[in-house]
Amino acid sequence: MMRVLFNLLDGITLRYLKRRAALTLIGLVMGSIGLGFLIAAIYQAAALGVGDLYAALICGGIFVIFALGLFAIANRQWRRRPRPLLARARYGVATELLTMAQTLIREDPAKAVIAALILGAMTEHLQKRSAAKRAQTRE
């Protein structure tokens, strides 16, 4: 482990890492300046055609639409992210249920059969109910 950290953080790597960070920062600043000039050019072109007030409204509307689109993309990606802790919690619950079932079967198999019948009936009922809800939402 220490060898990996040493290889990652030796002097040469740090020098290249600093250079890369500096060049990235300079690139971001230059890109922002260029984007500012493009926005100014779009505003001036729109102002010549439709007037100052309408040009400001058009540019503002475009930025609001872009912002909403980026927000929607970020929101969708956030909801679709992997959730390993949630999956582990589900596995933990399933493990506990299986352990309880195993204990129940060892103590009294008749109770296990009755519990299985009840759980099967509940599962069937819930599946029919969710299928009916899905059919209702489609209509």
Per-residue pLDDT, averaged over 30-57, amounts to 90
**Is the model's pLDDT at 4 over the cut of 70?**
no
- Classify the C-alpha dihedral 105-107-108-109 as positive or negative: positive
Return d(Cα 13, Cα 21) in angstroms, integer. 12
Measured CA distances, 115 to 112, 118, 120 (Å): 5, 5, 8
Q: What dihedral angle (degrees, nearest 10) is formed by the CA atoms of 109, 113, 118, 119?
A: 90
Residue 33 has pLDDT above 90, yes or no: yes
State how far the Cα of 125 lies from the Cα of 105, in Å rounded to an integer. 24
pLDDT digits (tens, 9 = 90+) for 88-98: 776 777 777 77
Q: What is the mean pLDDT of residues 125-136?
A: 83
Predicted local distance difference test score (pLDDT) of residue 1: 58
Quote the pTM value: 0.44
What is the SS3 string spanning 26-42?
HHHHHHHHHHHHHHHHH
Indicate the domain borders of the chain.
2-79, 84-138
Nearest to 65 by CA among 57, 55, 75, 77: 57
Alpha-carbon gap, residue 137 to 130, rounded angstroms: 11
When pLDDT is averaged across residues 6-29 and rounded to a whole number, the result is 78
